[in-house]
Amino acid sequence: MVVLGVTGGIAVYKACDLARELMRRGCRVKVVMTAAAQRFVTPLTFRTLTGEPVGVSLWDDPASRVHHISLADEADVLAIAPCTANVIVKLAQGRADDLLTTTALATEARLVIAPAMNTHMWRKDAVAGAVATLRGCGARFVEPATGELACGDVGEGRLAEVGVIADAVMAEVTCSRSLAGVRVLVTAGPTREPIDAVRFIGNRSSGRQGYAVADEAARRGADVTLVSGPTALPDPFGVRVVRVETASEMHGAVEAAYSDCDLVVMAAAVADMRPAAPASGKLKKDAAPETLQLERTEDILAALGRRKGTRVLVGFAAETEHVLEHAREKLTAKNLDLVVANDVSAPGAGFDGPTNVVVFVTPEGEESLPLMGKEAVARALLDRLDPMVKGRESC
Protein backbone atom coordinates (compact mmCIF):
# COMPACT_ATOMS: atom_id res chain seq x y z
CA MET A 1 0.00 0.00 0.00
CA VAL A 2 1.21 3.51 -0.86
CA VAL A 3 0.53 6.45 1.42
CA LEU A 4 0.62 9.55 -0.77
CA GLY A 5 1.48 12.72 1.09
CA VAL A 6 0.37 15.93 -0.59
CA THR A 7 1.72 19.32 0.48
CA GLY A 8 0.74 22.86 -0.51
CA GLY A 9 1.73 24.15 -3.95
CA ILE A 10 0.33 24.77 -7.38
CA ALA A 11 1.55 21.33 -8.49
CA VAL A 12 -0.99 19.64 -6.20
CA TYR A 13 -3.24 18.95 -9.17
CA LYS A 14 -0.59 16.55 -10.52
CA ALA A 15 -0.92 14.48 -7.35
CA CYS A 16 -4.42 13.59 -8.50
CA ASP A 17 -2.98 12.07 -11.67
CA LEU A 18 -0.26 10.36 -9.63
CA ALA A 19 -2.82 8.70 -7.36
CA ARG A 20 -4.71 7.36 -10.36
CA GLU A 21 -1.49 6.20 -12.07
CA LEU A 22 -0.39 4.26 -8.99
CA MET A 23 -3.80 2.64 -8.79
CA ARG A 24 -3.57 1.66 -12.47
CA ARG A 25 -0.28 -0.04 -11.61
CA GLY A 26 -1.95 -2.15 -8.94
CA CYS A 27 -1.37 -0.10 -5.78
CA ARG A 28 -3.84 0.70 -3.08
CA VAL A 29 -3.41 4.41 -2.34
CA LYS A 30 -4.30 6.40 0.77
CA VAL A 31 -3.80 10.16 0.70
CA VAL A 32 -2.67 12.44 3.53
CA MET A 33 -3.01 16.19 2.91
CA THR A 34 -1.48 19.12 4.72
CA ALA A 35 -3.66 22.13 5.53
CA ALA A 36 -1.92 24.12 2.77
CA ALA A 37 -2.64 21.39 0.19
CA GLN A 38 -6.32 21.63 0.98
CA ARG A 39 -6.28 25.25 -0.19
CA PHE A 40 -5.60 23.97 -3.73
CA VAL A 41 -7.53 20.65 -3.92
CA THR A 42 -10.22 19.33 -1.59
CA PRO A 43 -9.99 16.01 0.25
CA LEU A 44 -13.20 15.00 -1.54
CA THR A 45 -11.25 14.91 -4.83
CA PHE A 46 -8.78 12.34 -3.54
CA ARG A 47 -11.46 10.35 -1.74
CA THR A 48 -13.39 10.09 -5.00
CA LEU A 49 -10.29 9.12 -6.99
CA THR A 50 -8.95 6.50 -4.56
CA GLY A 51 -12.08 5.24 -2.84
CA GLU A 52 -10.23 5.61 0.45
CA PRO A 53 -10.66 8.03 3.37
CA VAL A 54 -8.30 11.00 3.19
CA GLY A 55 -6.20 11.97 6.21
CA VAL A 56 -6.16 15.67 6.92
CA SER A 57 -5.63 16.13 10.65
CA LEU A 58 -4.11 14.58 13.74
CA TRP A 59 -7.59 14.94 15.19
CA ASP A 60 -9.37 12.74 12.63
CA ASP A 61 -12.14 10.42 13.95
CA PRO A 62 -11.23 9.79 17.61
CA ALA A 63 -13.24 6.54 17.58
CA SER A 64 -10.77 4.86 15.20
CA ARG A 65 -7.21 3.69 15.75
CA VAL A 66 -4.63 6.48 16.10
CA HIS A 67 -4.50 7.55 12.47
CA HIS A 68 -0.83 8.39 12.00
CA ILE A 69 0.14 5.04 13.55
CA SER A 70 -2.30 3.02 11.42
CA LEU A 71 -1.11 4.78 8.26
CA ALA A 72 2.53 4.30 9.28
CA ASP A 73 1.99 0.57 9.83
CA GLU A 74 0.01 0.01 6.62
CA ALA A 75 2.40 1.73 4.25
CA ASP A 76 4.91 -0.13 2.10
CA VAL A 77 5.98 3.23 0.67
CA LEU A 78 5.36 6.80 1.81
CA ALA A 79 5.52 9.08 -1.23
CA ILE A 80 5.31 12.85 -0.84
CA ALA A 81 4.48 14.62 -4.09
CA PRO A 82 4.59 17.52 -4.36
CA CYS A 83 6.86 18.14 -1.38
CA THR A 84 7.53 21.74 -0.38
CA ALA A 85 10.74 23.17 1.03
CA ASN A 86 9.00 23.56 4.38
CA VAL A 87 8.14 19.88 4.65
CA ILE A 88 11.57 18.72 3.43
CA VAL A 89 13.26 20.73 6.17
CA LYS A 90 10.79 19.51 8.82
CA LEU A 91 11.38 15.89 7.85
CA ALA A 92 15.15 16.35 8.09
CA GLN A 93 14.80 17.90 11.54
CA GLY A 94 12.44 15.18 12.80
CA ARG A 95 9.63 17.67 13.40
CA ALA A 96 6.12 16.21 13.56
CA ASP A 97 3.47 18.92 13.83
CA ASP A 98 0.75 17.60 11.49
CA LEU A 99 -0.61 14.27 10.27
CA LEU A 100 1.82 13.94 7.36
CA THR A 101 5.05 14.66 9.22
CA THR A 102 3.90 12.60 12.21
CA THR A 103 3.18 9.65 9.91
CA ALA A 104 6.59 10.08 8.28
CA LEU A 105 8.31 10.00 11.66
CA ALA A 106 6.34 6.95 12.80
CA THR A 107 6.64 4.76 9.71
CA GLU A 108 9.22 2.12 8.81
CA ALA A 109 8.12 2.38 5.17
CA ARG A 110 10.39 3.49 2.35
CA LEU A 111 10.30 7.22 1.61
CA VAL A 112 10.02 8.79 -1.85
CA ILE A 113 10.11 12.59 -2.11
CA ALA A 114 9.27 14.60 -5.23
CA PRO A 115 10.11 18.26 -4.48
CA ALA A 116 8.33 21.21 -6.08
CA MET A 117 9.27 24.81 -5.29
CA ASN A 118 10.78 28.01 -6.61
CA THR A 119 14.28 27.69 -8.09
CA HIS A 120 15.85 29.96 -5.49
CA MET A 121 14.28 27.96 -2.66
CA TRP A 122 15.55 24.69 -4.14
CA ARG A 123 19.08 26.11 -4.30
CA LYS A 124 19.16 27.42 -0.73
CA ASP A 125 21.75 25.83 1.57
CA ALA A 126 19.09 25.00 4.18
CA VAL A 127 17.09 22.98 1.66
CA ALA A 128 20.18 21.35 0.14
CA GLY A 129 21.35 20.35 3.61
CA ALA A 130 17.97 18.86 4.47
CA VAL A 131 17.93 16.91 1.20
CA ALA A 132 21.41 15.55 1.95
CA THR A 133 20.31 14.52 5.45
CA LEU A 134 17.27 12.67 4.14
CA ARG A 135 19.27 10.98 1.38
CA GLY A 136 21.73 9.83 4.02
CA CYS A 137 18.84 8.22 5.88
CA GLY A 138 17.80 6.31 2.75
CA ALA A 139 15.11 8.57 1.28
CA ARG A 140 14.76 8.48 -2.50
CA PHE A 141 14.40 11.85 -4.25
CA VAL A 142 12.77 12.33 -7.63
CA GLU A 143 14.70 15.33 -8.89
CA PRO A 144 12.60 18.36 -9.86
CA ALA A 145 12.40 19.20 -13.56
CA THR A 146 13.67 22.41 -15.15
CA GLY A 147 11.34 24.81 -16.94
CA GLU A 148 8.94 27.68 -16.45
CA LEU A 149 7.56 27.88 -12.91
CA ALA A 150 4.18 29.15 -11.79
CA CYS A 151 5.80 32.32 -10.44
CA GLY A 152 7.23 33.12 -13.88
CA ASP A 153 10.83 32.17 -13.09
CA VAL A 154 12.63 29.64 -15.28
CA GLY A 155 14.83 26.99 -13.70
CA GLU A 156 14.78 23.79 -11.65
CA GLY A 157 11.94 23.30 -9.20
CA ARG A 158 9.04 21.99 -11.28
CA LEU A 159 7.46 18.78 -10.04
CA ALA A 160 8.78 15.84 -12.05
CA GLU A 161 6.44 14.22 -14.54
CA VAL A 162 3.82 11.89 -13.08
CA GLY A 163 5.20 8.85 -14.90
CA VAL A 164 8.71 9.47 -13.55
CA ILE A 165 7.42 9.75 -9.98
CA ALA A 166 5.25 6.65 -10.40
CA ASP A 167 8.27 4.69 -11.68
CA ALA A 168 10.26 5.68 -8.57
CA VAL A 169 7.40 4.74 -6.25
CA MET A 170 6.86 1.38 -7.93
CA ALA A 171 10.59 0.63 -7.71
CA GLU A 172 10.35 1.16 -3.95
CA VAL A 173 7.17 -0.92 -3.70
CA THR A 174 8.99 -3.78 -5.42
CA CYS A 175 12.04 -3.26 -3.22
CA SER A 176 9.92 -3.34 -0.05
CA ARG A 177 9.02 -6.97 -0.84
CA SER A 178 12.23 -8.04 -2.55
CA LEU A 179 13.51 -10.23 0.31
CA ALA A 180 10.18 -11.72 1.38
CA GLY A 181 10.75 -15.30 2.48
CA VAL A 182 14.54 -14.86 2.65
CA ARG A 183 16.23 -15.70 5.95
CA VAL A 184 18.99 -13.23 6.78
CA LEU A 185 21.65 -13.41 9.49
CA VAL A 186 23.53 -10.21 10.38
CA THR A 187 26.26 -9.67 12.97
CA ALA A 188 27.07 -6.24 14.37
CA GLY A 189 29.05 -4.39 17.00
CA PRO A 190 32.24 -5.21 18.86
CA THR A 191 33.09 -8.11 21.13
CA ARG A 192 34.54 -7.74 24.62
CA GLU A 193 37.19 -10.22 25.71
CA PRO A 194 37.60 -10.17 29.52
CA ILE A 195 40.91 -9.48 31.22
CA ASP A 196 39.29 -9.77 34.63
CA ALA A 197 35.83 -9.24 36.10
CA VAL A 198 35.74 -5.54 35.16
CA ARG A 199 38.25 -4.99 32.33
CA PHE A 200 38.21 -6.19 28.76
CA ILE A 201 39.86 -5.97 25.34
CA GLY A 202 37.51 -4.38 22.83
CA ASN A 203 37.31 -2.01 19.88
CA ARG A 204 35.52 1.17 18.81
CA SER A 205 32.74 -0.38 16.73
CA SER A 206 29.33 1.15 17.50
CA GLY A 207 27.35 -1.50 15.59
CA ARG A 208 25.60 1.16 13.48
CA GLN A 209 26.46 -0.32 10.11
CA GLY A 210 25.34 -3.84 11.00
CA TYR A 211 22.15 -2.55 12.61
CA ALA A 212 21.43 -0.53 9.47
CA VAL A 213 21.84 -3.67 7.35
CA ALA A 214 19.50 -5.66 9.61
CA ASP A 215 16.93 -2.85 9.57
CA GLU A 216 17.06 -2.52 5.77
CA ALA A 217 16.70 -6.28 5.28
CA ALA A 218 13.63 -6.31 7.53
CA ARG A 219 12.16 -3.39 5.56
CA ARG A 220 12.46 -5.56 2.46
CA GLY A 221 10.42 -8.32 4.04
CA ALA A 222 13.22 -10.66 5.15
CA ASP A 223 13.15 -12.82 8.27
CA VAL A 224 16.14 -11.27 10.06
CA THR A 225 18.27 -12.48 12.96
CA LEU A 226 20.78 -9.97 14.33
CA VAL A 227 23.60 -11.25 16.53
CA SER A 228 24.90 -8.17 18.31
CA GLY A 229 27.90 -7.48 20.47
CA PRO A 230 27.59 -4.81 23.19
CA THR A 231 26.10 -1.59 21.77
CA ALA A 232 23.93 1.29 22.94
CA LEU A 233 21.57 0.88 19.95
CA PRO A 234 17.89 -0.08 20.23
CA ASP A 235 16.68 -3.27 18.57
CA PRO A 236 15.73 -2.66 14.92
CA PHE A 237 12.00 -2.91 14.26
CA GLY A 238 10.85 -6.41 13.28
CA VAL A 239 14.26 -8.01 13.84
CA ARG A 240 15.10 -10.95 16.10
CA VAL A 241 18.08 -9.83 18.23
CA VAL A 242 20.53 -12.12 20.05
CA ARG A 243 22.91 -10.18 22.30
CA VAL A 244 26.38 -11.54 23.11
CA GLU A 245 29.58 -10.27 24.70
CA THR A 246 32.57 -12.34 23.57
CA ALA A 247 33.80 -13.77 20.28
CA SER A 248 33.09 -17.25 21.61
CA GLU A 249 29.49 -16.30 22.41
CA MET A 250 29.07 -14.71 18.99
CA HIS A 251 30.45 -17.86 17.39
CA GLY A 252 27.89 -19.99 19.22
CA ALA A 253 24.98 -17.70 18.35
CA VAL A 254 25.98 -17.53 14.69
CA GLU A 255 26.37 -21.30 14.45
CA ALA A 256 22.91 -21.76 15.96
CA ALA A 257 21.31 -19.58 13.28
CA TYR A 258 23.51 -20.42 10.28
CA SER A 259 21.88 -23.61 9.06
CA ASP A 260 18.56 -21.85 8.36
CA CYS A 261 19.97 -18.80 6.56
CA ASP A 262 20.01 -17.78 2.89
CA LEU A 263 22.05 -14.59 3.31
CA VAL A 264 24.71 -13.84 5.94
CA VAL A 265 26.23 -10.38 6.45
CA MET A 266 29.08 -10.45 8.97
CA ALA A 267 29.44 -6.77 9.90
CA ALA A 268 30.63 -7.31 13.49
CA ALA A 269 34.13 -6.24 14.54
CA VAL A 270 35.07 -9.51 16.25
CA ALA A 271 38.22 -9.47 18.39
CA ASP A 272 41.09 -11.45 16.83
CA MET A 273 42.76 -12.07 20.21
CA ARG A 274 41.67 -12.63 23.81
CA PRO A 275 43.44 -13.06 27.16
CA ALA A 276 44.35 -16.71 27.55
CA ALA A 277 43.59 -16.81 31.29
CA PRO A 278 41.21 -14.06 32.42
CA ALA A 279 41.01 -13.50 36.16
CA SER A 280 37.75 -14.43 37.86
CA GLY A 281 37.78 -11.33 40.06
CA LYS A 282 39.12 -7.81 39.73
CA LEU A 283 42.88 -7.59 39.43
CA LYS A 284 44.34 -5.04 41.85
CA LYS A 285 46.79 -2.56 40.37
CA ASP A 286 49.77 -3.74 42.41
CA ALA A 287 49.05 -7.42 41.63
CA ALA A 288 48.25 -7.05 37.92
CA PRO A 289 50.68 -8.66 35.44
CA GLU A 290 52.73 -6.34 33.28
CA THR A 291 52.04 -8.45 30.20
CA LEU A 292 48.99 -10.34 28.99
CA GLN A 293 49.20 -13.78 27.42
CA LEU A 294 46.89 -13.73 24.41
CA GLU A 295 45.36 -16.45 22.28
CA ARG A 296 43.50 -16.30 18.98
CA THR A 297 39.73 -16.25 18.94
CA GLU A 298 37.64 -18.39 16.62
CA ASP A 299 37.67 -17.25 12.97
CA ILE A 300 33.90 -17.27 12.63
CA LEU A 301 33.80 -16.06 9.03
CA ALA A 302 36.34 -18.61 7.79
CA ALA A 303 34.38 -21.41 9.46
CA LEU A 304 31.17 -20.27 7.74
CA GLY A 305 32.92 -20.00 4.39
CA ARG A 306 34.12 -23.61 4.56
CA ARG A 307 30.51 -24.84 4.53
CA LYS A 308 28.82 -22.01 2.68
CA GLY A 309 26.82 -24.17 0.30
CA THR A 310 24.31 -22.06 -1.66
CA ARG A 311 24.25 -19.24 0.89
CA VAL A 312 25.35 -15.72 0.00
CA LEU A 313 28.12 -14.83 2.45
CA VAL A 314 29.36 -11.27 3.02
CA GLY A 315 32.30 -10.07 5.10
CA PHE A 316 33.62 -6.67 6.14
CA ALA A 317 37.23 -5.50 5.96
CA ALA A 318 38.00 -2.50 8.19
CA GLU A 319 41.57 -1.54 7.32
CA THR A 320 43.98 1.37 7.69
CA GLU A 321 46.27 0.62 4.74
CA HIS A 322 46.30 -1.50 1.56
CA VAL A 323 42.53 -1.68 1.92
CA LEU A 324 41.60 -3.28 -1.41
CA GLU A 325 44.53 -5.69 -1.29
CA HIS A 326 43.47 -7.01 2.11
CA ALA A 327 39.81 -7.12 1.04
CA ARG A 328 40.62 -9.23 -2.02
CA GLU A 329 42.68 -11.60 0.12
CA LYS A 330 39.77 -12.00 2.55
CA LEU A 331 37.32 -12.57 -0.34
CA THR A 332 39.34 -15.52 -1.60
CA ALA A 333 40.68 -16.97 1.65
CA LYS A 334 37.27 -17.10 3.34
CA ASN A 335 35.18 -18.11 0.32
CA LEU A 336 33.03 -14.97 0.33
CA ASP A 337 30.69 -13.56 -2.29
CA LEU A 338 31.33 -9.92 -1.38
CA VAL A 339 33.53 -7.93 0.98
CA VAL A 340 32.59 -4.45 2.18
CA ALA A 341 35.95 -2.70 2.52
CA ASN A 342 36.66 0.62 4.18
CA ASP A 343 39.58 2.63 5.44
CA VAL A 344 38.66 3.34 9.06
CA SER A 345 41.33 6.01 9.28
CA ALA A 346 39.67 8.09 6.54
CA PRO A 347 37.45 11.08 7.45
CA GLY A 348 33.81 10.03 7.76
CA ALA A 349 34.58 6.32 7.47
CA GLY A 350 35.77 5.32 10.93
CA PHE A 351 34.09 3.57 13.81
CA ASP A 352 31.28 5.09 15.86
CA GLY A 353 30.11 7.63 13.26
CA PRO A 354 26.91 8.06 11.22
CA THR A 355 28.63 7.89 7.81
CA ASN A 356 30.83 5.52 5.89
CA VAL A 357 32.90 5.33 2.71
CA VAL A 358 33.05 1.78 1.37
CA VAL A 359 34.07 -0.31 -1.61
CA PHE A 360 32.17 -3.45 -2.58
CA VAL A 361 34.70 -6.09 -3.59
CA THR A 362 33.49 -9.15 -5.50
CA PRO A 363 35.20 -11.75 -7.70
CA GLU A 364 34.12 -9.62 -10.68
CA GLY A 365 35.70 -6.37 -9.48
CA GLU A 366 35.16 -3.35 -7.22
CA GLU A 367 32.43 -0.73 -6.83
CA SER A 368 33.33 2.41 -4.86
CA LEU A 369 30.62 4.35 -3.05
CA PRO A 370 30.91 8.00 -2.00
CA LEU A 371 30.60 9.27 1.56
CA MET A 372 27.05 8.51 2.70
CA GLY A 373 25.01 7.66 5.75
CA LYS A 374 25.27 4.11 7.03
CA GLU A 375 21.57 3.59 6.25
CA ALA A 376 22.25 4.49 2.63
CA VAL A 377 25.25 2.12 2.58
CA ALA A 378 22.99 -0.66 3.86
CA ARG A 379 20.49 0.06 1.13
CA ALA A 380 23.17 0.03 -1.57
CA LEU A 381 24.57 -3.22 -0.19
CA LEU A 382 21.20 -4.99 -0.24
CA ASP A 383 20.49 -3.64 -3.72
CA ARG A 384 23.69 -5.42 -4.75
CA LEU A 385 22.94 -8.62 -2.81
CA ASP A 386 19.30 -8.97 -3.84
CA PRO A 387 20.00 -10.47 -7.29
CA MET A 388 22.70 -12.72 -5.81
CA VAL A 389 20.17 -14.21 -3.39
CA LYS A 390 17.56 -14.66 -6.11
CA GLY A 391 20.16 -16.30 -8.33
CA ARG A 392 21.03 -18.84 -5.64
CA GLU A 393 17.34 -19.57 -4.99
CA SER A 394 16.75 -20.39 -8.66
CA CYS A 395 19.63 -22.88 -8.81
Provide the whole-model pTM.
0.81
Residue 68 has pLDDT above 80, yes or no: no
Active-site residue list: 151
CA distance 10 to 377: 35
CA distance 274 to 252: 16
Handedness of CA 360, 216, 141, 28 (dihedral sign): positive
CA distance 110 to 176: 7
Handedness of CA 247, 233, 78, 368 (dihedral sign): negative
Is 183-393 the same fold as 2-176? yes
Do the Cβ atoms of 265 and 186 come closer than 8 Å?
A: yes
Percent of the chain with pLDDT over 90: 80
In degrees, rounded to 5, the angle at the alpha carbon of residue 103 between the alpha carbons of residues 179 and 375 is 45
Cα distance from N-terminal residue to C-terminal residue, the chain: 31
Question: DSSP secondary-structure letter at 300?
Answer: H
pLDDT at 66: 55
CA distance 395 to 392: 5
Asked if the peptide bond before residue 82 counts as cis, ω within 30 degrees of 0, the response is yes
CA distance 5 to 2: 9
Could you confirm whether domain 2-176 is CATH 3.20.20.70? no
What's the pLDDT band for 147 if we cut at 50, 70, 90? confident
183-393 CATH: 3.40.50.10300
What's the pLDDT band for 67 if we cut at 50, 70, 90? low
Domain chopping of the chain, boundaries: 2-176, 183-393
Which residues 6+ apart lie within 8 Å of 110 measured at CB? 76, 77, 78, 138, 140, 172, 175, 176, 219
- Mode of pairing for the β-strands spanning 263-266 and 183-188: parallel
Mean pLDDT, to the nearest integer, of 147-158?
76
